[in-house]
């Protein structure tokens, strides 16, 4: 991975440039990385706070030769790679909140945005945007209560270059495992970081809210929720609220 690197001091969004490079035919493993984003994007059309030098803002282009139905686990694979890399470099074990928020002490330290470009039968590119709050010491007001950084949580500065290297190594390894053996072996790893199984949750989906008990994820990465009506629901995309 990352034999083709596009580095920028300032950019609107690494994700936006990655999409453009895909259109221009960039190779598998292309990495777009910036010191600062002026228009960082989060999931569900949210913006993503991306100040200069303190975080990791990057997008990785993977071009697996697979049908589009096999794309969803890539987002979970990225979450595992980032969680493990954080554990190894910062010495803290983050929790994964389905599908791919990374939390420390209930506050968000990293987020992942996976976007797909595909034809009806083939993936053109999986574009994985990774944002990690690494060495921020302070957050602006609306974020203060919900965000943290690795240095705030661990009490020490974390080397961004090392963290990036570990993430890329793991992503490459786990993509290989996924291509050869499917998601099942990686699901076990994902579950070891995940915080939802057995908990009462509400899933805010585009079709409305569903409350119930989180059962786990399937071998395709779909969240299984047992509704209050006793019915099983398969959740493909949602914002999850965990009841404490």
Binding site for ligand BTN (CB under 6 A): 13-15, 37, 40-43, 46, 48, 50, 57-59, 101, 111-113, 129-131
Q: At its nearest, how many Å lie between ligand BTN and the CB of residue 164? A: 12
Q: Give the SS3 label for residue 237.
A: coil
CB closer to ligand BTN out of 107 and 212: 107
Q: At its nearest, how many Å lie between ligand BTN and the CB of residue 183? A: 21
Q: Give the SS3 label for residue 231.
A: coil
Q: Are 242 and 201 in contact (CB under 8 A)?
A: yes
How far, in Å, CA of 77 to CA of 113, rounded?
A: 12
CB closer to ligand BTN out of 37 and 54: 37
By residue count, the chain amounts to: 244
φ/ψ bin of 98: left (φ > 0), alpha (ψ from -120 to 50), beta (otherwise): beta
Q: At its nearest, how many Å lie between ligand BTN and the CB of residue 7? A: 13
Q: At its nearest, how many Å lie between ligand BTN and the CB of residue 45? A: 9
Q: Give the SS3 label for residue 170.
A: helix
CB closer to ligand BTN out of 38 and 231: 38
Residue 72 phi/psi, 5-degree rounding, is -50, -40
Sheet containing strand 208-217, edge to edge, reads: 232-235, 223-227, 208-217, 200-205, 239-242
How far, in Å, CA of 29 to CA of 168, rounded?
A: 9
CB closer to ligand BTN out of 35 and 175: 35
Q: At its nearest, how many Å lie between ligand BTN and the CB of residue 143? A: 12
CB closer to ligand BTN out of 45 and 244: 45
CB closer to ligand BTN out of 79 and 186: 79
Q: At its nearest, how many Å lie between ligand BTN and the CB of residue 231? A: 29
Give residue number: closest CB to ligand BTN: 111
215 C-beta neighbours (distance < 10 Å), count = 15
């Amino acid at each position: 991975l990352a034999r083709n690197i596009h580095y920028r001091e300032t950019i609107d969004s690494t994700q936006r440039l990655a999409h453009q490079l895909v259109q221009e035919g960039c190779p598998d493993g292309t990495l777009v990385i910036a010191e600062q984003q002026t228009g960082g994007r989060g999931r569900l059309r949210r913006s993503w706070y991306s100040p200069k030098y303190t975080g990791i803002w990057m997008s990785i282009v993977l071009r697996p030769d697979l049908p589009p139905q096999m794309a969803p686990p890539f987002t979970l694979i990225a979450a595992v790679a980032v969680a493990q890399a954080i554990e190894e470099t910062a010495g803290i074990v983050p929790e994964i909140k389905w599908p791919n928020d990374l939390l420390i002490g209930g506050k968000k330290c990293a987020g992942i945005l996976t976007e797909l470009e595909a034809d009806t039968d083939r993936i053109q590119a999986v574009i994985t945007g990774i944002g990690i709050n690494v060495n921020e010491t302070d957050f602006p007001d609306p974020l203060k209560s919900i965000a943290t950084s690795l240095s705030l949580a661990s009490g020490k500065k974390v080397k961004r270059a090392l963290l990036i290297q570990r993430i890329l190594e793991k992503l490459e390894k786990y993509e290989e495992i996924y291509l050869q053996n499917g998601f099942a072996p990686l699901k076990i790893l994902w579950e070891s970081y995940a915080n939802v199984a057995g908990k009462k949750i509400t899933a805010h989906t585009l079709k409305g809210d569903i409350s119930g008990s989180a059962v786990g994820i399937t071998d395709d990465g779909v969240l299984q929720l047992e509704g209050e009506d006793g019915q099983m629901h398969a959740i493909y995309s949602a914002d999850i609220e965990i009841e404490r």
